[in-house]
Structure 1
């Protein structure tokens, strides 16, 4: 049994730089000065996010090896990995994928950020190159067509070539079909039959002085089903959802959801506009409150969680991930402080029937749209619970709400004041709604436990909840 990956081809880098991409990208890269480790950050371009590239990058001189990755299910070429001969391929490719893997898989960054820069990985996505960048496209073109059997080949295959030889190599390759472009002493053309969308990741050395590897893959690449040609071992271990989740927890994966929120409110690299409004300015955000007077104690939250996951909900009950439980408790309390401060406290001085007060606090309660949040909150404010939460200390929560509401107004509530107990029913309902949606999200993500990102993204994806909490600083920025 072979113990080493099969080297498909070799080429030499002599200029300390490589050009990359489609034929016109390579030509473009050959016309500008050599680029060091790119300090490139994503930016919106219409409905997408792009990185502005120059299509050349400083690279380690010497012999580079080209390896094909094959899909273990059909033995077809699914990706390419190129590296300097001094690099251990399996170790390096796994490092790259850990830092910045495929956007169609679970781990890693899909954009250049501080983490990718610190780890020495440079990210290139589908909209960053190819015909999406039209510099020199009219002059150079994309070369000869592949044919009807793979008519997208020119768009979804790419080259890597020594900077000094880039223009000569482009002139040779443009006269050939993508599948027939041979490797040379100065570079290689990477063709993966019937690929869709192209991505790549450059791997740099420890000091980030020079690129030493290049991973080229498509949306169809599954690294848990792909191996180096000549080896049986898959690039990534196939994991059950629980195994993946436990590995991510051990690796201290960021499950806060804050970065995910940031990505969702900017145009996506996958081609979709943001679902909700952009992040408000800091001056518009309220909180965090960091009050010692928690509204919901740990047992209260556990009772609300259990109620939100009753069997008729259709999704198996999930607890909170241990490492993130404190974060979840603090987040839910911060959201409650925010709600009480923004929606209840301003109406403290208003007296009258509960229905009249509720119609002011929940102005959309009578709108025709069935199931609107205001209609549910209006009902909980005006009517005693017909199905109270078992074991829930409503009296204790109401007392803490009363203390919080009075804390900045120097008020002393009479015993029969209508606000605290009714507000308790309202915020308890809000929290059970959030936790029910978070449970569904954890289930859809194949996670056995709830993490903060399930809470934040559930709020984001629900129109009414988002409008309710969109000016909470804890929601967008966290609690610290």
Structure 2
């Protein structure tokens, strides 16, 4: 006989609706019109916190509901709760919910907000800022004083609690539960008060029937709920299967979601109006790939140089990384180095390029040092001679006849600066610890999130807009040919 999830308690819904959340949420829900399944959930305007506007009640199936404790595997530590109508298979239902809207702190967990995907799967997502402490409705009526609660914080059991109760008896249950300690689990004929010890920031997910007319399940969890290590009491199988980093990466590639980071940059810049970005006519590039200055060998030599902590370039996206890195460096050479080459001496050019060079441990001080003393920090397997020749060939048509680009010491300094800048870029591009692999979105975010790097490379068209070159990810629809770095 197959094992089944162990029922913790049961209650009955008779009003066709449930109220949910912290005590003041439930109180507010009990005084609000009953909410149908929403095809759109509004958010509070302004601020950096994304909070949805909810009413803390939902239509729900009448009848018997079962509650289940979800525990960390091989322990009795409660880390989540699942409640569902007795007609619902709890294992099938929770699997559906977790696929469309699981924990935002786990990979490949769907959406943390309500959108077309949650609507399609009849799931209502409740985020950490949507309820509990963060919503004040109902607090005054119940005499809840947040400051007093914070003053008594050290004497309270740490964790998160929430109730799920029949609409018809919600106010009565709130008055009863208010007499209890928040960490006391309490079952009633019309509902349940749940508590997750050690939890922080609570999340909820309602599952509705196919017609979206009534809720039939509810999942309650916290930041510290890891579904790859969580199971029903009575079962051994975890609710999600943990996959290796390589499997995550291959799944990430197959989804093909903004692997270059171009959409991410658009989203960020649209929100930050204070950023001073180039006009369309100020962009530089894309450049002829046969003029690219750095080969894959050069870039990997920089990546593994002592002091640089960078992930590996990997197929099928390494060529796009090489392209992006060459393009931003070449735009820097054209916009900054070419004009500075008109100075009479290397020292004068360095002073004009790096006015803050006297300030300790700044990008300017490092760049000044490398431009004026280029041989002080050689990089194994970095062909500075070949890089210098390609940089010189690129700069000569863009500089005056008697410019410093014909000075070997200046070109050597430029090469040292290139290596330093790319070391900084690669070091800043370690955005995804689990992946351990470097892809174009990491490079773009690493540059964008550093003011100095962003200002140096902001004139690169390819940085902001990419290249019209397709690439191939096995099993995906992104069929293209990668741009190869010049060898």
TM-score normalised by the shorter chain: which range applies? Answer: 0.7 to 0.9
Determine if the alignment matches structure 1 residue 151 to structure 2 residue 194. Answer: no
Distance change >3 Å, CA 451–CA 193, structure 1 → 2: same
Q: SS at 2:217's partner residue? A: strand
Q: Which residue of 1 aligns with 2:424?
A: 433
Q: SS at 1:196's partner residue? A: coil
The correspondence for 2:435, drawn from 438, 447, 469, is 447
Note the residue ranges of structure 1 that are not aligned, 5 or more in a row. Answer: 267-276
* Mapped partners of 1:233, 1:163: distance in 2: 34
Q: SS at 2:71's partner residue? A: strand
8 Å CA contact 1:37–1:208 kept in 2: the answer is no
8 Å CA contact 1:156–1:195 kept in 2: the answer is yes
Q: Which residue of 1 aligns with 2:405?
A: 418
8 Å CA contact 2:342–2:402 kept in 1: the answer is no
* Mapped partners of 2:293, 2:74: distance in 1: 49
* Mapped partners of 1:27, 1:166: distance in 2: 7
User: Deviation per CA, 1:10-55, whole angstroms, max 9, x where unpaired?
Assistant: 445565543221111011123333252442347654x744333332
User: Rg larger in 1 or in 2?
Assistant: 2
* Mapped partners of 2:326, 2:355: distance in 1: 24
In the TM superposition, residue 283 of structure 1 has moved relative to its aligned partner by 6.7
Distance change >3 Å, CA 349–CA 320, structure 1 → 2: closer
8 Å CA contact 2:29–2:57 kept in 1: the answer is yes
Q: SS at 1:332's partner residue? A: helix
Q: Which residue of 1 aligns with 2:4?
A: 4
8 Å CA contact 1:79–1:218 kept in 2: the answer is yes
In the TM superposition, residue 191 of structure 1 has moved relative to its aligned partner by 1.9
The correspondence for 1:233, drawn from 237, 259, 272, is 237
Distance change >3 Å, CA 81–CA 433, structure 1 → 2: same
Note the residue ranges of structure 2 that are not aligned, 5 or more in a row. Answer: 469-487
Q: SS at 1:418's partner residue? A: helix
In the TM superposition, residue 217 of structure 1 has moved relative to its aligned partner by 1.0
Distance change >3 Å, CA 402–CA 91, structure 1 → 2: farther
Distance change >3 Å, CA 468–CA 323, structure 1 → 2: same
Distance change >3 Å, CA 109–CA 237, structure 1 → 2: closer
The correspondence for 1:188, drawn from 183, 192, 195, is 192
Q: Which residue of 2 aligns with 1:394?
A: 387
* Mapped partners of 1:307, 1:148: distance in 2: 50
Distance change >3 Å, CA 472–CA 109, structure 1 → 2: farther
8 Å CA contact 1:354–1:418 kept in 2: the answer is no
In the TM superposition, residue 68 of structure 1 has moved relative to its aligned partner by 1.4
Determine if the alignment matches structure 1 residue 307 to structure 2 residue 302. Answer: yes
8 Å CA contact 2:41–2:53 kept in 1: the answer is no
User: Deviation per CA, 1:223-275, whole angstroms, max 9, x where unpaired?
Assistant: 22210111110112234444443444445465555787799x79xxxxxxxxx
User: Deviation per CA, 1:94-148, whole angstroms, max 9, x where unpaired?
Assistant: 44334443344344367426575466554433333212222111212569x9x99
After superposition, residues 51-450 of structure 1 pair within 5 angstroms as 51-59=52-60, 63-85=64-86, 87-108=88-109, 111-112=112-113, 114=115, 117=118, 120=121, 121-141=123-143, 151-152=156-157, 156-178=160-182, 179-185=184-190, 187-204=191-208, 211-252=215-256, 256=260, 279-280=272-273, 284-285=277-278, 291-294=286-289, 297=292, 300-310=295-305, 312-313=306-307, 318-340=311-333, 342-344=335-337, 347=339, 350-367=342-359, 369-370=360-361, 372-385=362-375, 387=378, 390-391=382-383, 393-395=386-388, 397-398=390-391, 401-402=394-395, 413-414=400-401, 417-418=404-405, 421=411, 423=414, 425-438=416-429, 445-450=433-438
Distance change >3 Å, CA 359–CA 8, structure 1 → 2: same
Q: Which residue of 2 aligns with 1:269?
A: none
Distance change >3 Å, CA 205–CA 323, structure 1 → 2: farther
In the TM superposition, residue 309 of structure 1 has moved relative to its aligned partner by 0.7
Q: SS at 1:127's partner residue? A: coil
* Mapped partners of 2:374, 2:461: distance in 1: 32
In the TM superposition, residue 171 of structure 1 has moved relative to its aligned partner by 3.3
Bigger mean CA deviation after superposition, 100-109 or 372-381: 100-109
User: Deviation per CA, 1:157-185, whole angstroms, max 9, x where unpaired?
Assistant: 10123444433432343344442421434
8 Å CA contact 2:341–2:405 kept in 1: the answer is no
Distance change >3 Å, CA 93–CA 326, structure 1 → 2: farther
Q: Which residue of 1 aligns with 2:480?
A: none
8 Å CA contact 1:203–1:212 kept in 2: the answer is yes
Q: SS at 1:65's partner residue? A: strand
Distance change >3 Å, CA 158–CA 282, structure 1 → 2: same
* Mapped partners of 2:457, 2:87: distance in 1: 53
In the TM superposition, residue 199 of structure 1 has moved relative to its aligned partner by 1.9
Distance change >3 Å, CA 334–CA 100, structure 1 → 2: farther
Bigger mean CA deviation after superposition, 116-125 or 131-140: 116-125
Q: SS at 2:435's partner residue? A: coil
- After TM superposition, the score normalised by the length of structure 1 is 0.75
Matched positions, count: 450
Q: Which residue of 2 aligns with 1:40?
A: 42
